Structure 1
Amino acid sequence: MRPGITSRARRTLGEDVGIRRAGARDAKRLTRLVRTSRAYEGPYAPMVAGYRVGHDYVETHRVFVAVGETTARLLGFYSLILDPPELDLMFVADDVQGAGIGRLLMGHLSNEAHEAGVTEVRVVSHPPAEGFYLSVGARRTGTVRAAPPAVMWDRPELVLPVV
């Protein structure tokens, strides 16, 4: 996996992208990104309809945000839980998907996990996102069965080796 945004993406975005640790002040923007994600339209909408990324969540977990360096615009984020190692949340703003933000975040996640002594990270994927995780080096290990009423569909379970 080659982290970083492409020069084409940099031209599209019009700025460089940085990653920083999220703070409590980011919670509302993170919640908005989750709730407005087109990936959760249609049958997936109920899962994020009332979802909230709270101040306590941001302060308790390793949450990192990708932001435009000149605009400070929130472009995406992820949350890494270390015990046991799992990617808990990952979202990229709809209008910048395909620009390399997800790959940049996954590269950062891999570095964070490596520095924490983690050798692999579990990913329970939103079904339409499985191809992305496979493209960044994850491998499928199974299926997490639906758990109504919270999750009404089966989800791919993957593991991302940390190098």
Structure 2
Amino acid sequence: MSRRTSPTSPPITIRRAVAKDAKRLTRLVRGSGAYEGKYASAVAGYRVGPDYIEAHRVFVAVAGGEHDGRVLGFYSLVLAPPELDLLFVADDVQGRGIGRLLVAHMLSEARAAGLDHVEVVSHLPAADFYHRVGAVRTGTAPANPPAVPGDRPEFEFRVPPE
């Protein structure tokens, strides 16, 4: 578990997700403003189930202080092949460093698992974020209508050794 605090924000804890988080994580995915309009089909009916949480390394960023226990965001690291499968931050707390904190934690987990890289197929509106947090563009994943209406950028995080 790791913590981050600053004088202007409540402490944030990153912890391993548990089965009882599944409904909250599903709501976060389905309610994401980044998936409105033409992207809505990509998350319609999407479910983060307890089985998914048990099968992968899923971590949640949780608020402390007066918002104790609120899930602010989460990510899922798949080990084989190495992939950042999911990364979501609640719309109302975006731009506060939570996504960057989750990526740093993911890289630490990847290093601990012996990975030297982690791939990610980005949602188009998130591409700039991945570039800003150090991912390198490697290609393009083709559209798969109707669920995925457009081509998506592919990135790779290089996992530095300790």
Same fold (TM over 0.5): yes
> For this structure pair, what is the TM-score category when the shorter chain's length is used for normalisation?
over 0.9
SS at match of 1:32: helix
Once residues 125 and 6 of structure 1 are traced to their aligned partners in structure 2, the CA distance between those partners, rounded to angstroms, is 28
Unaligned runs of 5+ in 1: none
What residue is the counterpart of 1:129 in the other structure? 126
Once residues 90 and 78 of structure 1 are traced to their aligned partners in structure 2, the CA distance between those partners, rounded to angstroms, is 4
Q: Are residues 5 and 135 of structure 1, via their aligned partners in 2, closer, same or farther at CA, if it must alter by over 3 Å?
A: farther
Which gives a bigger RCO, structure 1 or 2 (Cα 8 Å, sep 6+)? 1
Aligned AA for 1:133?
Answer: Y
RMSD of aligned residue pairs (Cα, Å) = 1.4
Pick from 83, 86, 90: which aligns with 1:86? 83
Q: Are residues 45 and 5 of structure 1, via their aligned partners in 2, closer, same or farther at CA, if it must alter by over 3 Å?
A: farther
Deviation at 1:75, TM superposition (A): 0.2
Alignment of 1:9-158 (within 5 A): 11=8, 14-70=9-65, 71-158=68-155
Deviation at 1:15, TM superposition (A): 1.0
Write out the 4+ residue segments of structure 1 that deviate beyond 4 Å after TM superposition. Answer: none
Deviation at 1:149, TM superposition (A): 2.5
Once residues 6 and 116 of structure 1 are traced to their aligned partners in structure 2, the CA distance between those partners, rounded to angstroms, is 27
Q: Are residues 86 and 107 of structure 1, via their aligned partners in 2, closer, same or farther at CA, if it must alter by over 3 Å?
A: same
Aligned-residue identity in percent: 64
Q: Are residues 5 and 100 of structure 1, via their aligned partners in 2, closer, same or farther at CA, if it must alter by over 3 Å?
A: farther
SS at match of 1:103: helix
Conserved? CA contact 2:57–2:77, under 8 Å:
yes
TM-score (norm 2): 0.92
